[in-house]
Chains A and B, each alone.
Chain A
Amino acid sequence: MDSYLLIPFLPLAAFFINIIFGRTLIKDKAHWVSILAVFGSWVVSMMAVAEVLQGKTVNADLYTWITSGGFKVSVGFLIDQLTSVMLVVVTTCSTLIHIYSAGYMHGDKGYYRFFSYLSLFTFSMLMLVTANNFLQLYFGWEAVGLCSYFLIGFWYEKKSASDAGKKAFIVNRFGDFGFGIGVIMIFLTFGTLHYIPIFGAVNGMVGQTVDFLGMQVDLPTLIALLLFCGAVGKSAQIPLHVWLPDAMEGPTPVSALIHAATMVTAGVFMVARCNPIFSLSPVAMDVVAIVGAVTALFAATIGLVQNDIKRIIAYSTVSQLGYMFLACGVGAYGAGIFHLYTHAFFKALLFLCAGSVMHAMAGELDLQKMGGLKKYMPWTYLTMFVASLSIAGVPGLAGFFSKDEILWLAYSGPSPVGKLVWAIGTIVAFLTAFYSFRLIFLTFHGKFRGSHEQEHHLHESPKVMTIPLMILCVGAIASGWVGIPSLLGGGAHFTEFMKPVLGHLEGHGTHAEEWMVMAISVVAGLSGIGLAAFVYLREGDLAATVTQKFRFVHQVLWNKYYVDELYDFIIVRPTIWIAKNVIVGVTDGKIIEGIVNGVPELIGRFSLWLRSIQTGMVHQYAAVMAIGAFVVIAMVLLW
């Protein structure tokens, strides 16, 4: 157990070293500190995973954090099957992205700052996934949010970047509001916040109702939905998805690590961790499934028309996270976590490839100014192509296995909304393949559409960047092989491994149906790729024609369904307006201050009328008060 402490605390140490000595001493060597630390925690994590594979899980407290009456919570660690998968994802992606960043951020004036934040993030994320209680989970949860805020706003001189960081933090606070109340409800229900005793006693909640703000609500449903609020914020689901696309203001390695592979999946992790609670509430499960499915579709449709390379991938992330919630909502937690795990590799890879492209294009993000890059950057092209095949669900690659498992369990599982979300999921698979390959074709194929200066500058990225791409590419291909379904002759080892924590959902259907579901999703994916090729690989302006024809639809999608504008109109502006004009202007400024300044004035006149002899204001009122005091004493004593 003790050596496991190194997993989170090595990166924390790196943070302190870099933040204290980075500016003056370490400077452009800062990456060594952070990389060594995260690599160390990768090594220890792998040892931990090996232990878990042999069935040895750990649940131990380090020290008592807060005690107050019956409330007691520790800092402690739980390393079980679910945690070990997260450890693999977090430390592997983090290590590779640290290395990549040494190339990508080279020469930035905030170099040491970047690596300190990256280390702090890794620490926080590891605290989040290894927590053995809800309050430490909440600690990690807020701490990753903080790092996300720092890193989105890393180039803080840009107003858009500092706006985006702030927006991410505040939008997340909306979700955490519910999450925090959920945690409090859990304590009031179970008298503890530690996972193991809570999950052992959840059945006591069945059939209990509780009065919540004047409504009688089913207890498991209430708790599950409150927790889910937090997940909706952190994992950027509707209606709190608005922060993630803006988060692309941060440096690209940050988008890969935080806004694709790790932090944003924390919501899925949390729902999976709390599966004993969620499973007690069919209502909450359906909500999770529907929110996931709708978000998946919603984000995918926006992704179809965007031109900003990073934003497309960001919407793709929102969409894929929706997929994971869809899985959890139909009870297929194992499949959801499986997708989380494969997604981490291919999505981190997509972002890092986008970063490589931006590196070559001097920061250009607009797809319309790219084209034909494949001959300049073959490795970036190759790896990004593979990642896109993987996300499109082409058979044999990682994304295929996890997506197929989700769709099959949605179709065949017991969930009442299963068939519906399966249908949506299949449509999303088509859309995903289309926009992913639209991006590939517009970026790497055809003729270069940027300026001459940019064309002159095009080059493949240095090895420190391309080698992490290749390693992640192996993950994007092979990470799914641990979960090959029995239908294809595999052993579905992944879900089997997760069974002690997540249970095992059996699909009910014939082999023929299973083949059919698989075939439909493969066809959906391939036809998406085919359509993208048809539209964007041919000469001509088919895309422009279609856009013209469906102007209205294009406008709505281009403006992301106007959600940002809506929130600005109904939340941000009214709040500020009320603050300025009602509260400061009227309540505080006129009413309260009016009384405060008016009463002494009245008393003053009254005293003048009494021809009082006091001269100084203070004494005058003191005297009046003293008289009043005696009157009151008299009243009380004679009562």
Chain B
Amino acid sequence: MNTLGYPILSTLIFLPLLGAAVILLMGRSQEALVKWAALVVSIVAFVLSIPLFTDFDRTTHLMQFTERHEWIPSWNITYFLGVDGISVLFILLSTLVTILCVLISWNSIKTKIKEFYIAILIMEGAMIGVFSALDFFLFYLFWEAMLIPMYLLIGVWGGPNRIYAAIKFFLFTLVGSVLMLVGIIVLYFYAGKTFNILELMNMNYPYQMQFWLFWAFFAAFAVKVPMFPVHTWLPDAHTEAPTAGSVILAAVLIKMGAYGFLRFSIPLFPDASKAMAVPMLTLSVVAIIYGAVVCLAQSDLKRLIAYSSVSHMGFVTLGIFALNIQGLEGGILQMINHGIVTGALFLSVGIVYDRTHSRQISDYGGLATVLPVYSAFFMVFTLASIGLPGTNGFVGEFLIILGGFAASKWAGVLSATGIIIGAGYMLWLYQRVFFMETNQKIVGLQEMDMREIITLVPMVILVFWIGIYPDMFLSFMHPSVEHLLKRLNAEGQEMAVAGKIMGIIKIP
């Protein structure tokens, strides 16, 4: 199955863990060595992940780069990895973001440096594990394993209110996860004791069971996304986390929720997903508008961006539960986009925070005069965030609104209002921070150095690459998404809510 001749996914999972172990052996005083080791490991992991992009077969929905080994035969647990068009891009995103997180933390983390980079690398391994696991037991293991380094990142290297934020983060996600665990166990017994996700996906479950399990999984995924009304951990976690923590949270961690819907909820519980589409669309639209309006009242940079994530992730879940091809592909692309853009915004905020140690918008003003290069970078991410055509944000949002509109005109129209408000809060933020008279507190700040520029440049490239030539990325998804829709609309089952409306006239 694996065309590369070596187990690429295992390598990607265990290389960072190995790196973490090596760093553990280093002396506490060897700070430079620790940093360089972390950087080298993360870069090697990224380079090794590139074949996933170049050698991926875009014509099939089947799992690729698979690895399978017996693990705990008595419980029928296997070590089973593989990726398809839905998951592959997230692994690449994870390996890229880890490099940037190491770079951005270079000077800003001053205490427990060794432990910090260990946490980051463990995080990377666990994230890749989540996106590639095809055995439920293994998946759950990675899923919970992610919690610990993140909890520590917030709780140890966070801001003043870090303990509250860390515990809140932990509890929210744990509560959700435990309900999912129940669901997994139920599936295990129902299907004749197997954790194999591919086998489980090919079975049919009675509607009643689908219904309950849909909500059990929902609890885990909705918290992660986060969907309204279980979003309140996110602003606290983002605000208190160190820059790298916020970036990993925004770029990868909260994608796990939406990924869970795509990988598990829809294929395992197709009937329940269709039946629950309306409540899901409703929650999504509420999140879009609610998150955006909340942004208008924020005075803290990171908190504002955190709430904008709630709004943007609302678009993602809207696309997913539109249950048509444009919505789903737009949703997946928007997950990548949001990872890039919001990740980049948090990186950018980190860059000024290192200089001013303030997150208050009112402590800024006129930054464009003081830091012109920085302002240009921030502008690019602002524009991508408000979905300007030519940037990645547009492609995702357009496909989502198209899909959402096809599924429900109300959902399409209401979600589009989020774009108006989005322009409002982002441009207002930009104005207050970068325009107008120069605030005395920021006079004489240092312009970005080479390390910081290198950190942001990959994000700028991706913003425009996806914006101008999105087909490169969408083509990864086509077979997998079509397969997913086939599963959803299998024979004898009613068509998904969408699709019916497509083509009122349809020219020949």
Contact = CB atoms under 8 A, between A and B. Distances in A.
B504 interface: yes
B297 A579 contact: yes
Interface string A543-565: 00000000000000000000000
Given A70-B502, A576-B296, A629 B436 contact: no
Interface stretch (A169-177, A278-286, A388-396, A497-505): A169-177
A584 B297 contact: yes
Interface stretch (B40-48, B192-200, B387-395): B387-395
Nearest to B289: A583
A600 B167 CA distance: 11
Contacts of A592: 229, 232
B232 A188 contact: no
Contacts of B172: 596
Given A578-B293, A618-B171, A629-B178, A68 B412 contact: no
A210 B501 CA distance: 10
Nearest to A219: B504
Report, as a range, how many residues of chain A touch the other chain: 35 or more
A143 B401 CA distance: 20
Contacts of A632: 179, 182, 216
A252 B178 CA distance: 63
A631 to B, nearest CB: 9
B330 A636 contact: no
Contact of B366 (A149, A157, A191, A579): A157
Given A142-B388, A618-B170, A162 B435 contact: yes
Given A162-B435, A170-B420, A208-B504, A629 B179 contact: yes
Interface in B82-139: none
Nearest to A578: B293
A622 B376 CA distance: 46
A103 B230 CA distance: 58
A190 B505 contact: yes
A68 B435 contact: no
Interface string A565-600: 000000000011011100110011000110010001
B232 A184 contact: no
B455 to A, nearest CB: 19
Contact of B506 (A190, A213, A636): A190
A21 interface: no
Classify the interface of chain A: helix, strand, loop or mixed: helix
A188 B406 contact: yes
B423 interface: yes
Nearest to A617: B167
Nearest to B373: A23
A583 B182 contact: no
Contact of B174 (A67, A163, A583, A625): A625
B417 interface: yes
A633 interface: yes
Contacts of A149: 427
A188 B293 contact: no
B475 interface: yes
A504 to B, nearest CB: 26
A208 B503 CA distance: 13
A146 B467 CA distance: 16
B409 interface: yes
A174 B505 contact: no
Nearest to B508: A201
A639 interface: yes
Contact of B420 (A174, A587, A618): A174
Given A69-B325, A177-B419, A159 B181 contact: no
A117 B150 CA distance: 42
B76 interface: no
Interface in A168-216: 169-170, 173-174, 177, 180-181, 184, 187-192, 197-198, 200-201, 204-205, 208, 210-213
B388 A177 contact: no
A66 B400 CA distance: 13
B428 A166 contact: yes
A626 interface: yes
A606 interface: no
Interface in A596-627: 596, 600, 617-618, 621-622, 625-626
B208 interface: yes
B326 interface: yes
A271 to B, nearest CB: 20
A273 to B, nearest CB: 18
B205 to A, nearest CB: 12
Given A583-B290, A625-B178, A68 B399 contact: yes
A530 to B, nearest CB: 46
Identify which of A23, A63, A219, A596 gathers the most chain B CB atoms within 10 Å of its CB: A596
Identify which of A63, A578, A633 gathers the most chain B CB atoms within 10 Å of its CB: A633
B348 interface: no
A143 B468 CA distance: 13
B186 interface: yes
Report, as a range, how many residues of chain B touch the other chain: 35 or more
Nearest to B427: A166
A66 B402 CA distance: 13
Contact of A159 (B388, B410, B436): B436
Contact of B474 (A67, A180, A622): A67
A376 interface: no
B413 A205 contact: no
Nearest to B208: A639
B405 A184 contact: yes
Contacts of A379: none
A192 B503 CA distance: 10
A69 B329 contact: yes
A549 B157 CA distance: 71
A170 B423 contact: yes
Contacts of B329: 68-69
Interface in A98-151: 135, 138-139, 142-143, 146, 149
Contacts of A583: 290, 293-294, 297
A625 B175 contact: yes
B507 A68 contact: no
A534 interface: no
Contacts of B461: none
B294 A191 contact: no
Interface in A14-53: 19, 23
Contact of A621 (B174, B212, B213, B389): B174
Contacts of A23: 372
A637 B435 contact: no
Contacts of A621: 171, 174-175
Contact of B388 (A143, A192, A219, A580): A143
Given A621-B171, A629-B182, A201 B427 contact: no
Contacts of B482: 69
14 contacts: A63-B469, A66-B398, A67-B474, A157-B436, A158-B436, A169-B423, A169-B427, A180-B401, A201-B508, A213-B413, A576-B297, A580-B296, A618-B174, A621-B171
Given A68-B329, A174-B420, A177-B420, 17 more contacts: A23-B372, A66-B399, A69-B324, A142-B388, A158-B436, A184-B401, A188-B503, A190-B507, A191-B503, A205-B505, A219-B504, A583-B290, A592-B232, A596-B232, A621-B174, A633-B186, A637-B186
Interface of A: 19, 23, 63-71, 135, 138-139, 142-143, 146, 149, 153, 156-159, 162-163, 166, 169-170, 173-174, 177, 180-181, 184, 187-192, 197-198, 200-201, 204-205, 208, 210-213, 219, 575-576, 578-580, 583-584, 587-588, 592-593, 596, 600, 617-618, 621-622, 625-626, 628-629, 632-633, 636-637, 639
Interface of B: 167-168, 170-172, 174-175, 178-179, 181-182, 185-186, 189, 208-209, 212-213, 216, 229, 232-233, 290, 293-298, 324-326, 329-330, 366, 368-369, 372, 376, 383, 388-390, 394-395, 398-399, 401-402, 405-406, 409-410, 412-413, 416-417, 419-420, 423-424, 427-428, 431, 434-438, 468-471, 474-475, 478, 482, 501-508
The 8 A-B residue pairs with the shortest CB-CB distance in the complex, in nearest-first order? A69-B325, A162-B435, A201-B507, A139-B389, A579-B297, A156-B435, A579-B296, A580-B297
